[in-house]
Structure formats: C-alpha cells, structure tokens
Amino acid sequence: MTSITLNNVSLVYRLFEKLTLSAPGRRRSALGGNIAKSGTKQVVQALDGVSFELKAGDRLGLVGPNGAGKTTLLKVLYGIYQPSGGTISIAGKVDALFNIHIGFRPEATGRRNIVLRGLISGWTAAEIEEKMEEIIDFSELGDFIDLPFKAYSQGMAARLAFAAATTLEPEILLMDEWIGAGDASFQEKAKRRMDELAEKAGIIVLASHDDALIQRVCTKKLTLRGGRVESLA
Amino acid sequence: MIAALNGAFDDISKAMRLHRVWIALAHEDIGDQHRRTTLGPLWMLVNYFAFVGTFAFVFVTKDASNPSYIAYVAIGMLVWFYLTETITMSVSLFQREASFIQGTTLPLFVYVMRLTMQCIIRAGYSLAGCVLILLLSGYGINTNWLLSLLGLLLLILATPAFVVVFAFLGAFFPDSEFIVGNLMRVGMFFTPVFWVYSGQEGVQEYAYHWNPFTYFLEGVREPITAGIFPGHSLAVTGYFCLGLWAIALLLLGLYRKRIVFLI
C-alpha cells in the first residue's frame, strides 16, 4: 500500500566553511532556511519538526515563500538529503521531476540521450527499448531524433526532455513545479500527460507557487514557512 | 566506524550494480572531448608520442640512442600520465557532478567509477602507443609482460581510492584543485619518470625512495626494462593501496551524505 509518513522530521546542516585561502568575509555562501549558531559553528535549520501522513490517492501541494523549505522537503522525500532528525517511512516506488534536462548531452543524438536518461533513471535495457518509440512518438521529433541534441531548437529540446522525463510509472511522484514544454499544441499535450501521470501515481507531492494549480491538482495543502509546518489543510 | 564502512560498501555495491550508467557516461565523456576533431581520441595517442619523443630524443639527448632508455621513458610516461590525470581530475569531481548529485539519487561511487573508467579508456590509447614503442625498441612480448600487468592491475585497483580521496579533498578544500595541479606538475620531476636512479645521493635519493609514485612506476616498468620480478615495488604499492582504500572507505562512509551540502 503506497504511503508516506513523516514524524517530526528535521534537517539541520552545517554551513561548512570550506578551507580556503580567501578572506574570511567572502567564505560563506548565502543559503535558504534559518541560520543559527551551534557552538562556534553556523548551521542552517532547513526543516524543523515536519510531520504529516499521506496515503494512496492523496495529492499534497507544498506552498510557502521562497526559502520556506519546499524543495528541501521534496529532496528529503526523494532521498537526496538525509534528515538529521525524526523518522520517514515511505512505501512505494518514488520518482521525481525536479530537473527534466538533467543528463542530456548536446553532442549525443536524441535517441542516445533517451538511452542515457533511461540508464540514469535506473531503467533496464529492455525497458529503454520498450519506451524508446513511445518517447519518440510523444516528442514528435521524427527524423530529428537521430541528430545531435545541440541541433534542436529550444522547443524541440524541451519536448524530448519532457517526453523522456515523464515516461514514468510512479507510485509516488515528487514534482518541483508543474512542468510544461513546447509550443501551444504541445503544451496541451504536455498538460494531458501530466494529468495522466498525476492520475496514475498513488501519491503526488507538488511544490508550487501557483495557487490555482495547487487547487486544481491537489487534495491537501501544506504551508511551510522557515522550514516549519504553518498549516496543513 | 562499522556503520560508516557499511554505508561505504552499500554505496559501492549499488554503484557497481549501475555499471551500465558509468560505463556509458564515461564513453560519452571521451567521445565529447574529441567529437569535432579529425583524429578523435587518437589525439591521446599523438600526445603520448609527442611527450615520449620529446623526452627520449630531445630533452635527454645523451641517452637517445639507448633503446632501454626509450622503453624506460615510454612506460614511465604511461603510468605518470595516468596517475596525474586521475588525481588532478578527481579534485574537481564532485563540483563537476553537482547537477547529478543535487538532482538524482545515484550513489556517489557512480561518479567515482565514471572518472575511473574515463581515465582507463584514455590510458588505453597511451598503452597502445607504449606497446608499439616497446616493440620498435626491440622488447618482444614475453612472460615478463605478464608481471608488468600485475603492476598495472594494482594501479587500476588503486584508482577508485585515489579518486575518492582527492574528490573529498577538493570538496572540503576547493583551493586544493590548484595546489594539487601544481604539485602534480612539479611531481613529475621528483618521480623517476624520465630520470634514472642509480644510487645518487641527495634529493634524487629521497625522491626515489620516499615517493609512493616511484613504486607504481617501477611495478610496471621493472619486469620489462630490467627483466626482474618487482617484488618490493609491488609490496609497497599493495600496502599503499590498502591504506588508500581504508581512507577512501572512511571518507565515503562518513561524508558521502554531506557532499550534497558542500557543492
């Protein structure tokens, strides 16, 4: 049964002062979250006591101002960040749509980029083979698929990236903003694909600044502020 | 400590299961670097010949007619190029892979193996050149070459550990990219790559005996140029590998989850 349970999850990380020969005042990078002191060390409290429970069918919208912890929470759920406190229990295969262009290589053909993207996503050779034609068809790139990615227009590149990234069968889908791509007709097709994806996924967690989108897609809304849960409705 | 080692082994075993990812990415990396050139990856072979030729025929003219010296330089350059490229590229590894590290859940060791694979592919071109030079110098293929392979094998086994150690160094200490780069450039002159140690005292004595790279070189070179089993070199290299791997495993186990916050 697909589910997500977070109990008092926190993420605190040290602002590493990288050993460097530059002047002390120029060493620190600006990061989101609450910056606090722990002894002589500076730490960022990116998430603080976050708890919620989601079960199959739930669509959670994450809202909040910049630096509230939305993307951080998504990355904690995906496993990129390890929480420093609390417990996370996830049942189900998690897929994420954070950066659809990740791993695309300008010199490789569209077809080769699909293979690489598939490998990075953990697909087997058979799965890549099986999904190849579906991705090519969806992207509508035709013969361009065998040309180098760098020869594509921005819209064509976005179509391929979108088609490859959304050929998923997720049980839990994490999204940092709703993605769309291409010209008006493709935008409509992309919107349908996203709706289908949302329909197929057991649970969706979507971080967005678009209230209308959250209202349309999500069944629950979690508001974050300064890494803490402000409300859950 | 045990938990850290378990974490490191877990990361490594996951990465090894994803071998198709790092092999494919490494091939793409090599292809991309030479895609628009006429000679393609053969440029690596040309570079290798240019360096060996320079040292053998120009830089040290008095030994130019000695085939064993040419073989000495050819093998020395092969190993030194491999080591210097591995180490200097490792320092900026996590920075180069930042978008992957911050956007995917691929094990950190995947990036280590991607670079290891890249370095091995590049060295493959130099190795082809080296074999050609050895054959032209009159060193026919014989059983000593198998002993030399032992040295190469140890070198390859040490590579992921070198990559891990220097990649973490670069992540925690970004200035090390330039420091290590300069040290490796200077290091060539403190390592018996092209100069021959024959009992001299002073700097050369220390540079020969207290330099771990010496043993990596001699482990590959001695069987072919001197026709001896490089027992001492292989033993030192073996212990060095074990030490390096111990540090690498600890770094990977303790700090792999922190890298994402550092880059």
What is the predicted pLDDT for the residue at B7? 93
Cβ neighbours for B21, distance < 8 A, ≥ 6 positions apart: A119, A120, B106, B110, B114
Instruction: Using the CB atoms, write b or e for A78-115: b if 16+ within 10 Å.
Output: bebbebbebeeebebebbbbbbbbbbbbeebbbbbbbb
* Range of lowest pLDDT (A49-58, A160-169, B187-196, B215-224): A160-169
Give the tens place of pLDDT for each residue, A10-65.
999 887 665 566 655 554 444 456 676 666 677 888 999 999 999 988 999 999 99
Identify the band that residue A192 occupies on the pLDDT scale cut at 50, 70 and 90: confident
Contact list, A116 vs chain B (CB under 8 Å): 24-25, 28
Whether the predicted interface score ipTM is above 0.90? no
Q: By the 8 A CB rule, do A43 and A192 touch?
A: no
| Residues in B touching A82 (Cβ below 8 Å) | 257
Contacts of B165 by beta carbon, 8 Å cutoff, 6+ apart:
B90, B244, B247, B248, B251
B24 CB neighbours in chain A (<8 A) are 115-116, 119
Q: Chain B residue closest to A83 (CA)?
A: B257
The reported pLDDT for the residue numbered A24 is 55
Residue B46: what pLDDT? 93
Q: How many CB atoms lie within 10 A of CB B7?
A: 17
pLDDT at A188: 83
Comparing CB atoms, the residue among B35, B102, B173 nearest residue A107 is B35
Stronger pLDDT, B198 or B193, i.e. the higher one:
B193
pTM of structure: 0.89
